[in-house]
Structure 1
Amino acid sequence: MIGPNHRSNSFDLIRHGAALAVLVAHHYALSRFPTPQFWGIFSYGAFAVLVFFAISGYLVTKSYWNSTSFWTYFEKRLRRLFPALIVCSALMVIFLYGFMGQQSPALKFIFSERAYNAFMAHVWLDGSRDINKFSADFKYPNAANGSLWTLRYEFFSYIIIPCTLILFRKSYKGLIALLALCILLQTYSAITNEKIVSIWRQTLLMTPFLVGALMFFTEEHWNNTKTKLILFLACLTMIAITPRNPAYQMVFYVCLSIITILIGISFKENLIAGKFDISYGIYIYAFPVQQIIINKTTLSFYPSMAAAAAITLLLATASWYWVEKPFLKRHHSSSNIKTHDTSDTQQTALASSDPTLRNQ
């Protein structure tokens, strides 16, 4: 049940592709152009986020299973998510809201209570609001970093998965019940058009996350060529034949999540494969960079997309090498010290949890 090492799959490559797909989708939206869609229903961005959450569910569950305790697991989650986010939030407050804001002078704003509150709001996973009128006159106004809204739901998933496993004594029956509840609530919302936004978003995004988690737990039953092929074809068939009714969205989300894990497990790539992981950096920096490029330059659509992608890749690379990777290495070193006298089983589990994984 431990699952494959990250070097024997293609999850790293898929995550980077998904991060760039979000950038492409947002560039259309931020430019006020119609966003390309799959089958006329799902945008590239929504498609990519589903892929992110499915992979995250698989890898995070693996991380918890390989951790010596909940707190060891949770420390890894904090180190992976927050250092880069804190730096990104600080840069947003200083440069976007401070020097590019329209109300208060830069230095006055940067040292104000408003700046502190904005910084703390972003760190606590609320990144969509516009502060100091940074984007008030943009084509897509009053949105500074719209990508960050998904992080709070991912973070909650980081907590609910191990809590469910603890409650059910590491049995995946609890995850099945939770997935059924998410599907039920989503289907009810689709039929009645009634929803509480926060609950609707959480159950929506937790669906692929839980599918990924269940794929990890059941891997010994499906990780062979014949079963993977059958599952793959069955999922494609379900997507193709299900009527476009309120139930279709859940069918698509579940099947896409299964397909994502099947592809990730079935193919090995050596291009990225644990060498680096700038997908998180792409995700948290792309939106504000695109807002600036689209609204503060005279570049046309495709040149502006290329420029935004280039700058985002530079920022994401800097974030990985100067912020994210050092924190992960620090955790890896401290884990080795703390577990020097642990059992052989625990040492094997720690060794299999590579610090370069985005969702370690």
Structure 2
Amino acid sequence: MAGTGKRRKLKEYADPNIGFAWLRLFGAITVVIDHSSPLVHPERLTIFPASWHASPGYVALMGFFAMSGWQISDSWERDPSWWRFSGRRLLRILPPLLAVVFVTTFVIGPLFTSLTVGEYFADQQTWRYLVGTSLLFLLQHLLPGVFDDNPYPWSVNGSLWTLPMEMVGYVLVLVVGLLVAFGVTRYVVLPVLAGLMVLDGMFQATFGFQGNAGSLIEVPIGSMVSFMVPFAIGMVIHTFRDRIPLNGPAAIVLFAGWIAAHWTPLDRYLLAISASYGAIVIAHHWPTWFKADGRLVFGSYGLYIWAFPVQQMIIAAGVHNQWVLMALAVPAAYLCGVASWCLVEAPTQRRLRKYLVKPKPPRQPRPPSPRPPSFAEADTVRFSPVARPPAGRRPPSMRVR
């Protein structure tokens, strides 16, 4: 009966990677919806009322980082090679980023700048944006004259600010993975998580405040630590997946606990824990019937990095109602995500990842076929006292039952 139940569960739930893909897609759409309000009403931070002190986009980002912590840890475990791991991570994050940065600089910028084309390309900020944003940790937000007349003129692509933090998470997995490979216990992830939670409590970053720890180049340290907490939680759940059950009712209880403690100092910790655990649980309980062609669901990264300039262009075209902006931006950004996957991400993965394939173990030489026994050996085996049944008794196979 136990085997029957296990087979039923395997048929009932899809591969977790399908669940992760869908959740990332829904999370990216949530961020687009949440950005629509401050882009037309800059005095607001989120689509939720200010009195709620919560942001659906921020919760979605917490889930994003937790899923990354799980999946990137899984990638390292399957192939613990520092250079192949690094190559795969760069191939995943850079080609779509470079595509959006180049299109923004050389197409969107000249079309939407208030300067002449000559003035635009003569401005040093144009090239600072191109180079600095491509390098991530020198991230720039402004292109000269671009979207200057929009209600939110302070960023051409505000969504990119979390990508350097994602790269920091990759480094975290690499460092922990190398420590374990050199003999350190896997429990090392627990003090890493504890240290991040202590720092998060000190820096006090939230969805509306980047913390009081300053910046690492162009990356706010407080926000980076806040997002590394769910990333590390994802690492912990993956490391101890043999001991941590992924239970739906437990995820609901954690989420309810966060809601109940929302106005207490426990809020920041319960948010990270409930969003992280909940996202990973849902991904592992994704129903088999809720699947689709990969090209339709694997474009969440492209959707996320294209949505902000798409929304700014829609606003520049005259749309200043947040609900109309949502209705137009979500499908437009989704199509950009599908195009990014089909034209940039999948082709680069297919063409370049073949150089990062884990080498197959060397084939073991086949043992020599046994030499056929000689007549004397065969006769010894056939008539040895060990092989012959005791006198007066039949072998068990010949007994009459």
The two structures have a TM-score, normalised by structure 1, of: 0.84
Moved more, 108-117 or 211-220: 108-117
The answer as to whether partners of 2:132 and 2:140 remain within 8 angstroms in 1 is no
- SS of equivalent to 1:155: helix
Change in 2 beyond 3 A, CA 1:303/1:199:
closer
d(CA) in 1 for partners of 2:22 and 2:251?
A: 20
Change in 2 beyond 3 A, CA 1:316/1:237:
closer
* Aligned mate of 2:242, from 204, 220, 227: 220
Structure whose CA Rg is larger: 2
Count of residues in correspondence between the two structures: 335
The answer as to whether partners of 1:79 and 1:328 remain within 8 angstroms in 2 is yes
Partner residue, 1:15: 24
Partner residue, 1:247: 266
d(CA) in 2 for partners of 1:7 and 1:251?
A: 24
Query: CA shift at 1:342, angstroms?
Result: 5.2
The answer as to whether partners of 1:70 and 1:162 remain within 8 angstroms in 2 is yes
The answer as to whether partners of 2:251 and 2:278 remain within 8 angstroms in 1 is yes
Identify the structure with the greater helix proportion. 1
Deviation digits for residues 88-115 of structure 1 (CA, Å, limit 9, x no counterpart)? 0001111232232223x22553476543
* Aligned mate of 1:283, from 300, 304, 319: 304
d(CA) in 1 for partners of 2:81 and 2:213?
A: 36
- SS of equivalent to 2:52: coil
- SS of equivalent to 2:150: coil
* Aligned mate of 2:67, from 37, 55, 62: 55
Structure 2 counterpart of 1:53, one-letter code: F
Partner residue, 1:150: 162
Structure ranking higher on relative contact order (CA contacts 8 Å, 6+ apart): 1
Structure 2 counterpart of 1:210, one-letter code: A
* Aligned mate of 2:330, from 293, 301, 309: 309
d(CA) in 1 for partners of 2:294 and 2:204?
A: 40
Query: CA shift at 1:208, angstroms?
Result: 0.7
* Aligned mate of 1:115, from 126, 130, 140: 126
Asked if residue 183 in structure 1 is aligned to residue 204 in structure 2, the reply is no
Q: Give runs of aligned pairs for residues 187-336 of structure 1, distance below 5 A.
A: 187-190=201-204, 194-197=212-215, 198-223=220-245, 228-229=247-248, 231-242=250-261, 244-269=263-288, 270-272=290-292, 274-275=294-295, 276-298=297-319, 300-336=321-357
Deviation digits for residues 163-185 of structure 1 (CA, Å, limit 9, x no counterpart)? 12312446432221111111111
Structure 1 counterpart of 2:171, one-letter code: I
Query: CA shift at 1:323, angstroms?
Result: 0.6
- SS of equivalent to 1:10: helix
d(CA) in 2 for partners of 1:332 and 1:7?
A: 22
Structure 2 counterpart of 1:322, one-letter code: L
d(CA) in 2 for partners of 1:251 and 1:111?
A: 49
Change in 2 beyond 3 A, CA 1:204/1:309:
same
Point out where structure 2 has 5 or more consecutive residues left out of the alignment.
Answer: 1-12, 206-210, 365-401
d(CA) in 2 for partners of 1:74 and 1:118?
A: 25
Partner residue, 1:80: 92
Change in 2 beyond 3 A, CA 1:93/1:301:
same
Identity, in percent, stands at 22
- SS of equivalent to 1:284: helix
Point out where structure 1 has 5 or more consecutive residues left out of the alignment.
Answer: 345-360
Partner residue, 1:66: 78
Partner residue, 1:31: 40
Deviation digits for residues 250-297 of structure 1 (CA, Å, limit 9, x no counterpart)? 121112211111111122344247455110011100001101112322
Query: CA shift at 1:189, angstroms?
Result: 2.9
d(CA) in 1 for partners of 2:21 and 2:188?
A: 28
Partner residue, 2:173: 161
* Aligned mate of 2:150, from 98, 122, 138: 138
d(CA) in 2 for partners of 1:273 and 1:298?
A: 33
d(CA) in 1 for partners of 2:221 and 2:292?
A: 35
Change in 2 beyond 3 A, CA 1:301/1:255:
closer
d(CA) in 1 for partners of 2:363 and 2:356?
A: 14
Query: CA shift at 1:85, angstroms?
Result: 0.5
Change in 2 beyond 3 A, CA 1:31/1:132:
same
The answer as to whether partners of 1:128 and 1:146 remain within 8 angstroms in 2 is no
